[in-house]
């Protein structure tokens, strides 16, 4: 490590997710987690999915308070946050309304209109992704149409992690990883697309400055439960943070099983998939992070288990049931108006077989997209599939992925990888290393490995046939 760290023996990493804020205090030299804090969020369950950004700020304070002396001793902090959310602020930095979250699907008509206006290929080539209802550009279009007074009153527009970074440091900044999920930051020029912004009525002066990898956002302001002057890193979106936390290299994919499901790997080539399956995000590491994402993952499967009055591990093999758990619409495949579908029931079908079908349906789309994600660079895939997120700790999830993928799987022992990646990003400000170098030094990707098993072609065929029959998805 090349710098005299002084106060920098501890780095703080924040994961501000859909459901909670988590903070890790990490020893920079070893990667040892010294303390943890966590506070829950309140997410609306009405017509849309919204959270007051002040909830995130209060939760961050509560989580920091659980770290004991380490919050005041840390030399740097970084925030990883849920992607795509639309935060609109007044001139005093106060939210004008609750944030529209990534899994709020009310902007589906606006997403369809934007894609129809320009064409999917145009979006992919210019922005790296074809916007679906998760993307921030569609949420702004929805806001401008349905709540024009809020849109007109906006003095600043932020993403969730930007909001927290600005509260910590006073700096109106974001990073290229999170900016690439907006639909108004062009990946071909790595700049805000002023023509796109003009077409949706968004003044570029309302947007934060985009920092590059390794840039510092600022320093901790006085009056916070942190050391004044501690360094504040740029932060990034949750998936880019987890990729940093694992120290991923091209051709080494991760499959994350959380509220949403994602599969991604770093690439040198810039992604531009006109089908919209692969989102062409920028990476927090400086390259690219092709990614496929599903809305329905662990939360949907847990809901099915609850409906059946089963423990989430109480799966049973066999049966002919297909369950497509699109309980909140779906992003991959792009079916924002879909609902869950159950078919193939027999007299001898058991509740455990139905639950297993929910796991299969949730994993199917992610695994179907895996090869397309890896094809961006065309890198040979000989590394185990890294299984991360809350679901990775479950035997049923792990065995479902093994059975449907036919690939070797590794489950890293390190957990809270978004917060850990943010901590590596913060530590990089102190040591002069890259976050990836730090994560590899911390051995974050190490864990038990499981050999491949033959792919369950019969189950894959049933799910694929039902998707085609019911939704026209090939």
Catalytic residues: 238
Contacts of residue 302, defined as CB under 8 A and 6 or more positions apart, other chains included, come to: 312
Backbone torsion region of residue 276, taken as left when φ is above 0, otherwise alpha when ψ lies between -120 and 50, otherwise beta? left
- Cβ atoms of 450 and 408 within 8 Å: the answer is yes
Contacts of residue 35, defined as CB under 8 A and 6 or more positions apart, other chains included, come to: 24, 25, 66, 67, 68, 70
**Cis omega (within 30 of 0) on the bond before 333?**
yes
Q: Is 59 exposed, middle or buried (0-12, 13-18, 19+ CB in 10 A)?
A: buried
Residue where the block lists tokens 């065995």:
399
- Cα–Cα nearest to 302, from 413, 396, 402, 239: 396
Radius of gyration of the chain (CA): 21
Contacts of residue 406, defined as CB under 8 A and 6 or more positions apart, other chains included, come to: 452, 453, 454, 455
What span, in angstroms and rounded, lies between the C-alpha atoms of 111 and 84? 13
- Cβ atoms of 140 and 157 within 8 Å: the answer is yes
What span, in angstroms and rounded, lies between the C-alpha atoms of 155 and 245? 34
DSSP state string for 107-152: THHHHHHHHHHH-HHHHHHHHSS---TTSHHHHHHHHHHH-HHHHH
What span, in angstroms and rounded, lies between the C-alpha atoms of 139 and 69? 40
What span, in angstroms and rounded, lies between the C-alpha atoms of 469 and 474? 9
What span, in angstroms and rounded, lies between the C-alpha atoms of 200 and 278? 24
Mode of pairing for the β-strands spanning 322-324 and 99-100: unpaired
> Any bridge partners for residue 37, and if so which?
23
Count, residues in the chain: 474
* CB-side neighbour CA atoms (13 Å) of 2: 7
Task: For residue 426, give both structure tokens.
Answer: 């913060």
| Degrees to nearest 5, angle at CA 365 with 320 and 79 | 135
């Amino acid at each position: 490590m090349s710098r005299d760290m002084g106060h920098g023996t501890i780095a703080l990493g924040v994961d501000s997710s859909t459901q909670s804020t988590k903070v890790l205090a990490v020893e920079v030299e070893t990667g040892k987690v010294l303390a943890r804090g966590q506070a829950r969020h309140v997410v609306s369950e009405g017509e849309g999915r919204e959270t007051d950004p002040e909830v995130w700020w209060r939760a961050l304070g509560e989580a920091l308070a659980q770290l004991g002396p380490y919050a005041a001793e840390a030399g740097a902090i970084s925030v990883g946050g849920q992607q795509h959310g639309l935060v609109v602020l007044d001139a005093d930095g106060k939210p004008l309304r609750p944030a529209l979250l990534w899994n709020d699907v009310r902007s589906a008509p606006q997403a369809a209109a934007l894609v129809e206006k320009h064409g999917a290929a145009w979006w992919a080539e210019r922005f790296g992704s074809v916007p679906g209802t998760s993307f921030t550009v569609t949420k702004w279009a929805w806001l401008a149409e349905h709540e024009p007074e809020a849109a007109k009153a906006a003095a600043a527009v932020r993403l969730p992690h930007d909001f927290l970074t600005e509260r910590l440091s006073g700096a109106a900044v974001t990073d290229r990883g999170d900016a690439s999920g907006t639909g108004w930051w062009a990946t071909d020029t790595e700049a805000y697309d002023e023509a796109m912004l003009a077409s949706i009525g968004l003044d570029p002066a309302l947007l934060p400055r985009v920092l590059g990898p390794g840039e510092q956002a600022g320093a901790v302001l006085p009056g916070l439960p942190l050391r004044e002057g501690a360094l504040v890193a740029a932060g990034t979106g949750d998936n880019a943070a987890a990729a940093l936390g694992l120290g991923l290299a091209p051709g080494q994919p991760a499959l994350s099983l959380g509220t949403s499901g994602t599969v991604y790997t770093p690439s040198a080539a810039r992604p531009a998939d006109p089908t919209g399956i692969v989102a062409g995000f920028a990476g927090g590491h400086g390259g690219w992070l092709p990614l496929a994402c599903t809305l329905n993952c662990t939360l949907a499967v847990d809901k099915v288990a609850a409906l059946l009055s089963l423990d989430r591990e109480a799966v049973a093999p066999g049966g002919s049931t297909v369950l497509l758990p699109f309980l909140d619409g779906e992003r991959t495949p792009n079916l924002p108006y879909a609902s869950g579908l159950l078919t193939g029931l027999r007299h001898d079908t058991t509740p455990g077989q139905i639950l297993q079908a929910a796991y299969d349906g949730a994993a199917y789309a992610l695994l179907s997209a895996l090869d397309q994600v890896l094809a961006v660079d065309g890198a040979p895939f000989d590394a185990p599939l890294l299984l991360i997120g809350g679901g990775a700790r479950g035997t049923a999830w792990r065995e479902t992925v093994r059975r449907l993928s036919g690939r070797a799987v590794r489950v890293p022992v390190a957990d809270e990888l978004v917060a850990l990646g943010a901590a590596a990003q913060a530590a990089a400000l102190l040591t002069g290393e890259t976050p990836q170098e730090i994560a590899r030094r911390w051995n974050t990707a190490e864990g038990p490995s499981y050999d491949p098993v033959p792919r369950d072609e019969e189950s894959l065929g049933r799910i694929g046939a039902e998707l085609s029959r019911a939704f026209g998805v090939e």
